[in-house]
Amino acid sequence: MEPLALLVRNTSEVLTLEGTHREPAEQALTARPRACVGVRGGRVAWVGREEELPPGAVDSGTEVLDAQGCMVGPGFVDPHTHLVFAGERSTEFDLRCQGATYLEIAQAGGGILSTVRATRAASQEELVRLALPRLQRLLEYGVTTAEVKSGYGLDVENELKMLRAVRQLSTLSPVELVPTLLCAHAVPEEYKGRREEYVELCVREILPAVAKEGLARFCDIFVEQSAFTPDEARRLLIAAKALGLRPRLHGDQLTSGGGAELAAELGAATVDHLEQVSEAGIRALATADVTAVLVPTSTLFLRMRPYAPGRKLREAGVNVALGTNVNPGSAMTENLPLALGLACLENGLTAAEAYWAATRGAALALGLASHGRLAVGDIADLVVFSCSNYRHLPYHLGVNHARTVLKAGRVV
């Protein structure tokens, strides 16, 4: 065998995630007790027991990383973030703690539109400077790939500025970024009372400009009584598909609005939130193979009930993914391990299902075939955790156990 560039050895177990969401998650995690991972060319080249290493696999050029009896798994994939923004909304947080709701705050001129004002006033460089420490925190938690949405620009110039900031960020951080256009996040102030005209602007100008520059892989929309209607979502997402952007949507978050059914009808990659999803919506997601992205940190942060029915979604055969939803309004946290804990405590997932959701489940949601898994040939994004098994991650609530993080085979 050609010598390995790196050998990760002395693990308690390596989770290679070679199963599917249709089998029990414990089985799908594919735990390999005391296995080693060999890396070459930034990819997983070999997984097995040390005593089974093929001749020639390790030579004087092979770097050896001792996992000191700890667990190794793929880098986390965060499938839902709003990482790029200016300003902050701690006053809204305080108001919610005193009883105000997310919607009341939005109706009083705060909420998403307050972040839009701050983001429009910031330059691309300023947005990058502000986002970098957030991205660094994600990385420290073991996130090696993250989706990032626009949605605080809400006009051609500022949506492009946000997505260019995402592109610039990806050159400055080892975290791989997957950009999403979310121009239909809210109706901007200058279009108040003229929402159809804003949807027209999205379809006719923002979307084509973003597609032309190749700035986004997905197009997302907030379907909600206070945001956009299912018909508006249909119009935008069908146009997005025609330009090569895969549809996603924020659905059934604050009210039950048929978001899941719509995602299934449109063949969306994901529908995110789902606190208020209907039984019919759950069945539709399973049939259409749409990933359900759960973001329980925002259910917590907004002091809402219920949490999304993760248990029912899994039992219906839906691929479930888990994200931080880091954003200034509904989830000001990069703490993915906290999301794992909440997924178990409040969404009803098992520890194995939560771990799947933050790795392979999330990679599949983003269409990343060789991420969130450590099969031979996959990208060598991996994390050595300071614990011996995955159950410790949700159990030690909100605590960071990522000890060493590798992106494409390099310690970062």
Decide whether 320 or 402 has the Cβ nearer to ligand NIG. Answer: 320
Choosing from 330, 335, 350, 404, the residue that interacts with ligand NIG (CB under 6 A) is 330
Tell me the C-alpha distance between 325 and 349, whole Å: 18
Tracing tokens 């005391």 back to the chain, one arrives at 34
Q: Which of 276, 327, 347, 359 binds ligand NIG (CB under 6 A)?
A: 327
What CA–CA distance (Å, rounded) separates 37 from 364?
22
Of 31-39, 173-181, 281-289, 327-335, which part binds ligand NIG (CB under 6 A)? 327-335
Place of tokens 């027991």: 49
Q: Is 143 left (phi over 0), alpha (psi -120 to 50) or beta?
A: beta
30 binds ligand NIG per the rule CB under 6 A: no
Number of residues that bind ligand NIG (CB under 6 A): 13
Least CB distance to ligand NIG at residue 36 (A): 39
Q: Tally helices (H) and strands (E) across the chain.
A: 17, 16
Output the CA–CA distances (angstroms, integers) from residue 26 to 195, 352, 357, 359, in the order listed. Answer: 47, 5, 12, 13
Stretch that binds ligand NIG, among 158-166, 239-247, 326-334, 350-358 (CB under 6 A): 326-334
**Of 40 and 273, CB closest to ligand NIG:** 273
Query: Which x/- pattern, by CB under 6 A, does the window 255-294 give for ligand NIG?
Result: ----------------------------------------
Residues 221-240 that bind ligand NIG (CB under 6 A): 222
Footprint on residues 64-93 left by ligand NIG (CB under 6 A): 82
Nearest distance in Å: CB 85, ligand NIG = 7
Of positions 297, 298, 324, 359, contacts ligand NIG by CB under 6 A: 298
The single residue listed with the structure tokens 């048929």 is 258
147: part of which helix (H) or strand (E)?
Answer: strand 143-149
Whole-angstrom distance, CA of residue 31 vs CA of residue 380: 17
Q: In 168-281, which ranges are E strands? A: 176-184, 218-221, 246-251, 270-273
What residue ranges in 350-391 does DSSP mark as E strands? 382-385
- Distance (Å, whole) CA 250 – CA 237: 12
Nearest residue to ligand NIG on Cβ basis:
329
Determine if residue 137 is labeled as part of a ligand binding site: no
Of the candidate residues 38, 75, 111, 372, the single one contacting ligand NIG (CB under 6 A): 111
Q: Taking each helix axis from N to C terminus, what angle separates 336-345 and 351-358, rounded to the nearest 10 degrees? A: 140
The minimum distance between CB 298 and ligand NIG, in angstroms, equals 5
Query: In this complex, which beta carbon is closest to ligand NIG, that of residue 325 or of residue 359?
Result: 325
Residue 116 sits at the vertex; the CA angle it makes with 130 and 142, to the nearest 5 degrees, is 40
For ligand NIG, the closer CB: 32 or 250: 250
190 Cβ neighbours under 8 A, 6+ residues apart? none
What residues line the site for ligand NIG (CB under 6 A)?
A: 82, 111-112, 115, 222, 250, 253, 298, 325, 327-330
Q: Which residues are part of a known binding site for Fe(3+)?
A: 80, 82, 250, 325
Binding residues for N-formimidoyl-L-glutamate: 152, 327, 329
